[in-house]
């Protein structure tokens, strides 16, 4: 086994329709920051969509692709791979990264736990795990969970060792530079002149379309609507058509999300990484959970007054959205309080904090 001269870091992360693109996107944000600290970054991924492969490579990171598996990667994200599957992934990962002692390993993967992680103790000096679920045991030196939970200080009890450093809460949110800059310009919202509809980078059940249908039935003539979807959205053509017909602005695979959020007064969307982005800019939101792992996050944000949680995606209806929008429009004091509470949760410097802790001796 031989050493690399530069600080060497490899990321083990995947994306799929069920787990979304957020894992890759937040790892990419961290990777870009680490490069500023003389790091050489390699991504190890299996069965990534082509546009995500191109995105990683466009940021000048190395991408190593694992063999295609005949496995259902789109099963519910809570499903951990069996020990046999994890050890198979270990073998294939070691084969592809070669016999190198890497400085750091970052793993962001719902299917992997301590079974996988402990196998890399001889191949890396330090392991950082990025997690949201707190549903499995990890063998790592640092654990990052950037989400806000009412019980976030207790979630990983008995799930990591005593020496593991916990980086918990939106203070450590992995947000891009554009959000840090936009945070400096953001102000509490007091009126609703522009609404942003976005259900993240993956919306396989087209909740975006359902919200557009509802908004189209409402009398919102004085309110502009921005709709944001990914390039691979399954109903892209239909959403573009509906947006044009209703005079909504449709944005595809944007690279200026912070700008769109800063311009908006209210968001309608889901949980996930986008929650931290909205909070960073003090953007009030009406939120629906699209997956089980989003419920606790959105309930906690609702409890602390940073969003309005309207329930699961099945709750999307004309009546609920109509009543919630009217409440936001009519109760100016409450609307401004939500914006202020959200803004106080994160300042956009999380990626710098995480990089410092990871690279610290």
d(CA 212, CA 190): 24
Q: Are residues 190 and 273 in the same domain?
A: yes
Do 195 and 162 fall into the same domain? no
- Which range marks the domain in which residue 159 is found? 2-175+348-359
Q: How far apart are CA 119 and CA 99, in angstroms?
A: 13
Q: What is the DSSP letter of 71?
A: S
pTM exceeding 0.85: yes
Q: How much is the pLDDT for 2?
A: 45
CATH number, position 99: 3.40.50.11190
Q: Are residues 69 and 129 in the same domain?
A: yes
For the chain, list residues with pLDDT below 50: 1-3
pLDDT at 71: 61
Say whether both 26 and 39 belong to one domain.
Answer: yes
Say what the pLDDT of residue 279 is: 97
Residue carrying the six token digits 């991924």: 45
- pLDDT tens per residue across span 35-81: 999 999 999 999 898 989 999 999 999 999 999 987 655 555 557 89
Same domain, 238 and 192: yes
The answer to whether residues 43 and 191 belong to one domain is no
Domains held by the chain: number: 2
| Residue 143 shares a structural domain with residue 15 | yes
pLDDT given for residue 1 in this prediction: 45
Cβ-in-10-Å burial (0-12, 13-18, 19+) of 249 comes to middle
- Kindly list the distances between the CA atom of residue 151 and the CA atoms of 125, 148, 301, in Å, as whole numbers in the listed order: 31, 9, 12
pLDDT in tens, 127-175: 999 999 999 999 999 999 999 999 899 999 999 999 999 999 999 999 9
CATH number, residue 299:
3.40.50.2000
Residue 195 shares a structural domain with residue 135: no
Are 323 and 354 contained in the same domain? no
Residue 326: is it exposed, middle or buried by C-beta count within 10 angstroms (0-12/13-18/19+)? Answer: exposed
Task: Please state, in angstroms and rounded to a whole number, the distance separating the CA atoms of residues 251 and 266.
Answer: 17
127 shares its domain with 239: no
- Is residue 188 domain-shared with residue 101, that is, in the same domain? no
pLDDT for the residue numbered 219: 82
Cα 345–Cα 349–Cα 353 angle in degrees, nearest 5: 110
């Amino acid at each position: 086994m031989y050493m690399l001269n530069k600080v060497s870091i490899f990321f083990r992360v995947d994306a799929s329709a069920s787990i979304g693109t957020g894992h890759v996107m937040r790892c990419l944000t961290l990777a870009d920051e680490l490069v500023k600290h003389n790091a050489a970054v390699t991504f190890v991924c299996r069965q990534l969509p082509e546009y995500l492969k191109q995105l990683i490579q466009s940021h000048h990171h190395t991408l190593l692709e694992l063999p295609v598996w005949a496995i259902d990667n789109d099963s519910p994200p809570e499903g951990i791979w069996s020990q046999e599957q994890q050890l198979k992934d270990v073998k294939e990962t070691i084969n592809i990264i070669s016999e190198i002692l890497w400085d750091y390993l970052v793993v962001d993967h719902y299917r992997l736990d301590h079974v996988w992680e402990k196998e890399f103790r001889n191949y890396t000096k330090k392991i950082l795990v990025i997690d949201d679920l707190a549903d499995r045991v990890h063998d790592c030196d640092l654990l990052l969970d950037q989400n806000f939970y009412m019980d976030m200080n207790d979630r990983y009890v008995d799930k990591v060792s005593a020496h593991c450093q916990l980086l918990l809460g939106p203070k450590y949110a992995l947000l891009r530079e554009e959000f840090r800059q936009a945070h400096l310009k953001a102000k509490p919202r007091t009126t609703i002149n522009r609404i942003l509809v976005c259900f993240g980078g993956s919306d396989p059940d087209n909740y975006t379309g359902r919200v557009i249908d509802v908004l189209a039935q409402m009398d919102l003539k004085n309110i502009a609507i921005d709709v944001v979807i990914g390039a691979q959205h399954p109903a892209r053509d239909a959403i573009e058509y509906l947006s044009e017909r209703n005079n909504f602005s449709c944005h595809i695979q944007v690279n200026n999300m912070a700008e769109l959020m800063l311009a908006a007064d209210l968001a309608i969307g889901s949980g996930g990484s986008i929650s931290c982005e909205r909070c960073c800019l003090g953007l009030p939101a009406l939120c629906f959970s699209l997956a089980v792992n989003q419920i606790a996050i959105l309930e906690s944000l609702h409890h602390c007054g940073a969003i309005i949680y309207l329930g699961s995606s099945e709750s999307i209806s004309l009546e609920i959205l109509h009543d919630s929008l009217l409440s936001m429009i009519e109760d100016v004091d409450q609307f401004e309080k939500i914006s202020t509470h959200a803004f106080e949760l994160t300042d956009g410097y999380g990626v710098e904090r995480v990089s410092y802790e990871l690279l610290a001796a």
